[in-house]
Amino acid sequence: MHRPVDIVVPFRLDGAKSRLSPALDPDERRKFALAMLRDVLASARKFGEVTILTRPGSELMDDGSIEDAGQDAKVIPSDLELNDALNAMIEREALQGWPHDILIVMADLALLAKNDISGILGCPGDVVLCPGRGGGTNMILIRSPRCRTCYLGMSYVKHRDFARKVGLHISVYESFRVGCDIDEPEDLAEVLLHGQ
């Protein structure tokens, strides 16, 4: 049995997936980003309360993108940069006595499956990291209020080093599907080959 978990999915709709512009026009990128988000939410929602962390003024609720997919995720807008917003969530959870662990799942994991969520939740450790192919952190399970996020660039190494520095026990959950975040045009082949 897993501890209760709050699932946070950072998502930015405006300018979504701009690095895919050589392969997709702006409308296609927007639709693709929303489709990946819906798939991530569908995989995650049975495991805990899901929150989409986005920028203020997001059209997510206005255009019905999430509601049409039958998703019941909360949408929380934040003016803060990603790490500041996520770390504020960690601090709020800590002030409440840490009633829930926090699972952060990137919204561009087009191949994510429910067994990936159950897989990371089943790993031991204060922090469980899921590396992406480019050195990023595609999912991170946080079980300690001493953990902080360090997204930007090679975030996997930053998360690992920070956790070690503050004395947290680290586990790694490796999965081909979780490792495939869709950022570049060549990543689209993975969706075609391995998507459902």
- Per residue in 134-155, pLDDT (tens digit) is 899 999 999 999 999 999 889 9
Phi first, then psi, for residue 81 (nearest 5°) are: -65, 160
pLDDT of residue 69: 46
Phi, psi of 83, deg, nearest 5: -60, -40
Residue 185 pLDDT greater than 60, yes or no: no
pLDDT at 16 over 90: no
Structural domain harbouring 75? 5-194
Give me the chain's average pLDDT, please.
87
For the chain, how many structural domains are there in total? 1
Task: Give the model confidence (pLDDT) of 159-183 as tens digits.
Answer: 999 999 999 999 999 998 898 877 6
Q: Indicate if the alpha-carbon torsion angle 68, 72, 73, 75 is positive or negative.
A: positive
- Give the integer Cα–Cα distance in Å for 128 and 108: 19
Cα-Cα-Cα-Cα dihedral of 66, 67, 69, 73, to 10°? 60
CATH number for the domain spanning 89: value is 3.90.550.10
Alpha helices in 56-187 (DSSP H): 82-95, 114-121, 155-165, 176-179
Per-residue model confidence (pLDDT) at position 70: 44
Better pLDDT: 153 or 1: 153
pLDDT in tens, 56-100: 876 665 555 555 544 678 889 999 999 999 999 999 999 999 999
